[in-house]
């Protein structure tokens, strides 16, 4: 049985991201519930998802100790942020989108600087 661990609305309210125990992250269209992208990689359960303030990026935290950044428009993996030594249970962007915070079972919070080119 698959469980959904996290959901988040995009800033414009048009898209929902969901992270689940089947090691996938999905983007859904709010108005009709259709699937926009199914994002897969070598990751464990997706415990947390968050949209950047401009809605261009999606961050995910998973059981493989990794934070990932995805492009919302095309669903492509943009970066893998490694450094935690435990499951990543939460991710959140700063209001200006220049920092990403992640919380882990390793009892740490990490701040990641994001370059926006």
Domain 4-113 in CATH 2.130.10.10? The answer is: yes
Given this model, what pLDDT does residue 43 score? 79
Q: Is 98 exposed, middle or buried (0-12, 13-18, 19+ CB in 10 A)?
A: middle
Average pLDDT over residues 69-90: 94
pLDDT band of residue 116 (cuts 50, 70, 90) is low
Residue 117 pLDDT > 70: no
Average pLDDT over residues 69-86: 94
Q: Bigger pLDDT: 59 or 41?
A: 59
| % the chain with pLDDT above 70 | 98
The C-alpha atoms of residue 46 and residue 13 are separated, in whole angstroms, by 21
């Amino acid at each position: 049985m698959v469980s959904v661990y996290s959901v988040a609305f995009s800033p414009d309210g048009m898209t929902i991201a969901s992270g689940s125990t089947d090691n996938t992250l999905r983007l859904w269209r709010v108005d009709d519930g259709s699937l926009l992208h199914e994002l897969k990689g070598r990751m464990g359960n997706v415990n947390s998802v968050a949209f950047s303030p401009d809605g261009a990026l999606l961050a995910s935290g998973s059981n493989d100790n990794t934070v990932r950044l995805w492009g919302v428009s095309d669903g492509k993996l943009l970066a893998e942020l490694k450094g935690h030594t435990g499951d990543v249970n939460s991710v959140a962007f700063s209001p200006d989108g220049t920092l990403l915070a992640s919380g882990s079972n390793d009892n740490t919070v990490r701040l990641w600087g994001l370059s926006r080119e």
